[in-house]
Structure 1
Amino acid sequence: MGDQDATIRKILFSCLLAGIIIAVGDFKILSFFKSNAWVLKGDVYYLLRIGGSMWTWLLISISIALAFPRSDSPSPLKLRVERGSVSLKIAAISICLSAGLGGLIAEFLKLIIRRERPIDQEVYVFRAFSERAWSTSGLGLPSSHAAVAFGGSLALITIFPTLRWPALGMAIGCGFTRISSGAHYPTDVAAGALVGFFANYLAGLWLRRESWKHNRTSK
């Protein structure tokens, strides 16, 4: 899985570099997107936005799992994972797990960081812990949609590296929709992307474990 890991490391480095640039120009970037909201509108907007929905990744995972429902079928598609192999069912679970973990971690971090969604383009507003202590409604850092989109997309790239560009495009596009709609600062989306990377790392540990178990029992 060396090629996949190298690709993901390059993506992570690019996102870290982009994150630094975004942090410097957070308000200006938000202002640009809000004043040029036409960039993402209509069907394209909604197509990209659903990349951050857990329902999207659940549907993708179910579709992959149903491609070959039986592991003992005459010619089942097996996926190589570090000298082992896993069935499509296990691969599908790892994709859903990565996206789900991304969303859950993002929601948890919102409760800790407590930065609200854009109100004034020149001022960050933080909610007091005494105010709606357990509600993430109105909180934006990190973006849950971006975390889910990147978590799911990176897991998809790990399993199917040939899908790297459409998967990455969907994740980045989802992030753009969150900024252009005024729902998030660019730094919210950048942080959500990093959460997605971490979620994919955790899901990848589980996937490697399943690969090792499968390789061991098949000998």
Structure 2
Amino acid sequence: MPIKAILTDIEGTTSAVSFVFDVLFPYAASHLPAFVREHADRGDVAEQLDAVRRDSSEPDADVERVLEILLGWIAEDRKATPLKALQGMVWEQGYQAGELKGHVYPDAVDALKRWHQTGYAIYVYSSGSIQAQKLIFGCSEAGDLSPLFSGYFDTTSGPKREAQSYVRITEAIGLDASQILFLSDIVEELEAARLAGMATCGLAREGGELAGHVTVESFARIDPSMF
């Protein structure tokens, strides 16, 4: 069956890994403590702080202890859903203040616009929260790209290296898995998507090969109709 939807990763695929690790993470680490202390009683923030307590098996942790846990998770790049949610809230303030602009490779911008115009439905699946995904594309250096996307998925759909996560996403999109092309720079993610029945294409922007998968260096080399 022909490809009807494209599901793309962000880090290393549409956007530079360095933007996440050298800009977003340090910004969150710097601003998270003040944000949490100021908004700890706000409903959505309190919900995530309680989730940190549950995930760390420290149900009685006070706000300062929760902050210690969160900063430790940032340092080890843990894919923890409450951390991602809180980071997204902090980043939202940064984007709104004009202190952050989302990085998206120009070749990705061009291809996403072209695919959207051609009629492909475009979705995002990243370990970053859905809120953070929307901010990267909605407040990007290339302007507001959010009209190009039909939906977003994060770790609430499951880990990115597990096939069942892609089964859930396929069900949410409402297509046959073979009609979805998944793009990523991580071979384990591509393998999981393939196990779920999706078509796959690897991005190796510095060159090289993602073994067992069609691999390109640029979005300009991707023709969804060829999969």
State if a TM-score over 0.5 links the two structures: no
Greater percentage in helix: 1
Task: Report 1 or 2 for greater relative contact order, CA contacts < 8 Å, sequence distance ≥ 6.
Answer: 1
Instruction: Return the TM-score normalized by structure 2.
Output: 0.26
Greater percentage in strand: 2
Instruction: Return the TM-score normalized by structure 1.
Output: 0.26
